[in-house]
Structure 1
Amino acid sequence: MGCAGSSQSKADGTVKKIRKPKPWKHPQPITKSQLMQLRDEFWDTAPHYGGRKEIWDALRAAAEADLSLAQAIVDSAGVIVQSADLTICYDERGAKYELPKYVLSEPTNLIREGLGSLQF
């Protein structure tokens, strides 16, 4: 038996701090509504990839929150963060959870809707 936070600790005893994903580019320019549809589809099907629904729910809440709240969410849910950008996590039972970058941040080639051809 270990302490409650031992599973989240690295070898030096510190918890891995969450950070935003590095900038990324979608294969094609994408609108905000298309991005939101991709995210909704992912979260609707995520529990079918394995793992526990409550962990998927916690990961969604963390992905949609600011960094300090996201850190509190994953810590309280017992999520073990392998990649600080939340792309790879584990639960306390060892189940792996992989999150695509599109649920964590916006791509660099996001098309702002309603601007027509005036893209900057």
Structure 2
Amino acid sequence: MGCAGSSQTKGDRTVKKIRKPKPWKLPQPITKTHLMQMRDEFWDTAPHYGGKKEIWDALQAAAEADLDLAQAIVDGAGIIVQNADLTVCYDERGAKYEIPKYVLTEPTNLIRDS
């Protein structure tokens, strides 16, 4: 039994609760269509950055899910979350996975397509 201030742990590591990234903006405003193209390109090329394809697939599913489902996906895949917003994660073998914020949320200076 833990005290009120204890953290949930999985094995010998603390499990970070996932949250959305803080509001941010790109140097130049972009359209929703361009943002979606950038996201598609990232996920298409992500396995080439290193790590396992299965982990990249789990991270993509988590990035596209609501927070509760994302937490379950990350926990089930054994992903170690360094930054609670999923921008930096590791697999159980120590491979690093970095996800840009534009993949996880929309920038504040997004231009809606007309």
TM-score above 0.5, yes or no: yes
Tell me which protein shows more strand as a share of its residues.
Answer: 2
Q: Does 1:6 align with 2:11?
A: yes
Taking the aligned partners of 2:37 and 2:27, their CA distance within structure 1 comes to: 16
TM-superposed deviation, 1:27: 1.2
Structure 2 alignment gaps of length 5 or more: 1-9
Match of 1:118 in 2: none
TM score, norm. by length of structure 1: 0.85
TM score, norm. by length of structure 2: 0.90
Match of 1:41 in 2: 41
Match of 1:19 in 2: 19
Give a deviation string over 1:13-56, Cα, whole Å, max 9, x none: xx200000011101111111000000000000000000000000
Paired amino acid for 1:74? V
CA RMSD of aligned residues (A): 0.8
Q: Flag as ranges the 4+ runs of structure 1 deviating above 2 A.
A: none
Structure 1 alignment gaps of length 5 or more: 115-120
Instruction: Give % identity.
Output: 81
Taking the aligned partners of 1:6 and 1:51, their CA distance within structure 2 comes to: 22
Partner SS for 1:54: helix
